[in-house]
Copies of this chain bind each other. A is one copy, B any other.
Amino acid sequence: MIRVGILGATGFVGAELIRLLVNHPGVEITFLDSRSYKDIDYSTVYPNLRTYINAKCISVDLDSDLDNVDLIFCALPHGLSQEPVKKALEKGIKVIDLSADFRIKDADVYADWYGVEHKAKDDLESAIYGLSEIYSQDIKEANLIANPGCYPTSIIIPLYPLLKENVIKDDVIIVDSKSGVSGAGRTPSEANLYALCNENIKAYSLGKHRHTPEIEQELSAAATRQVMVQFTPHLTPMTRGILSTIYIKNTKYLDYDDIKSIYEDYYKDKFFIRMLNNNEFPQTKAVYGSNFCDIGFTIDKRTNTIIIVSAIDNLVKGAAGQAIQNMNIMFGLKENEGLNIVPIWP
Contacts and interface: CB of A to CB of B under 8 A. Distances in A.
Interface of A: 12, 15, 19-20, 22-23, 44, 46-52, 172, 174, 176, 178, 180-182, 184, 186, 188-190, 192-204, 206-207, 228, 230, 232, 234, 236-241, 243, 245, 247, 271, 274, 276, 280-290, 292, 294, 298, 300, 302-305, 307, 309, 340, 342-346
Given A22-B342, A193-B186, A342-B22, A199 B247 contact: no
A300 B228 CA distance: 12
B52 A201 contact: no
Given A300-B207, A303-B172, A346-B182, A240 B274 contact: no
A207 B342 contact: no
Contacts of A239: 194-195, 198-199, 346
Given A23-B340, A274-B51, A198 B178 contact: no
Contact of A19 (B172, B182, B198, B345): B345
A205 B261 CA distance: 23
A247 B232 CA distance: 10
A44 B280 contact: yes
A200 to B, nearest CB: 4
Contacts of A198: 181, 194, 198-199, 237-239, 346
B238 A283 contact: no
